[in-house]
Amino acid sequence: MLPSASDPILFVIRCKEGKEKKIVVSLMTKFEYCKWNSLPINILSASASFTVPGHIYVEAFKECHVRQALEGIDGVFHKIVQIPKLEMP
């Protein structure tokens, strides 16, 4: 089943190899902290694939939301690439 135009977008972000898990945990921690302090971060998920080292995946509706979520997190290279809808599944 292919994603529709109203579904969130999947972004891939380069990061330091070996730091993928730490960065994803940092994003989750930041998400929870901001949620409890009424400063929402508009991302839906973050994950790392150990078959593709040096990359994390973030699901959001806009690239600016991903940039906002990654702000202040070490080890991330801020080149954000949108994965085409046909390649998302």
Residues of the chain below pLDDT 50: none
In a domain, 34, yes or no: yes
Phi, psi values for residue 68, rounded to 5°: -65, -40
Structurally, the chain folds into a number of domains equal to 1
The parent domain of residue 71 ranges over 9-87
In a domain, 1, yes or no: no
In a domain, 3, yes or no: no
Q: Which residues contact 20 (CB under 8 A, 6 or more apart)?
A: 48, 50, 53, 54, 55, 56
* Separation of alpha carbons 7 and 72, rounded Å: 27
For residues 27 and 67, the answer to whether their CB atoms sit within 8 Å is: no
Predicted TM-score (pTM) of this structure: 0.89
The pLDDT, as a whole number, for residue 25 is: 95
In a domain, 37, yes or no: yes
Q: What CATH code is carried by the domain that includes residue 70? A: 3.30.70.940
The pLDDT, as a whole number, for residue 45 is: 93
Q: Which of 35, 33, 18, 36 is nearest to 74 (CA)?
A: 18
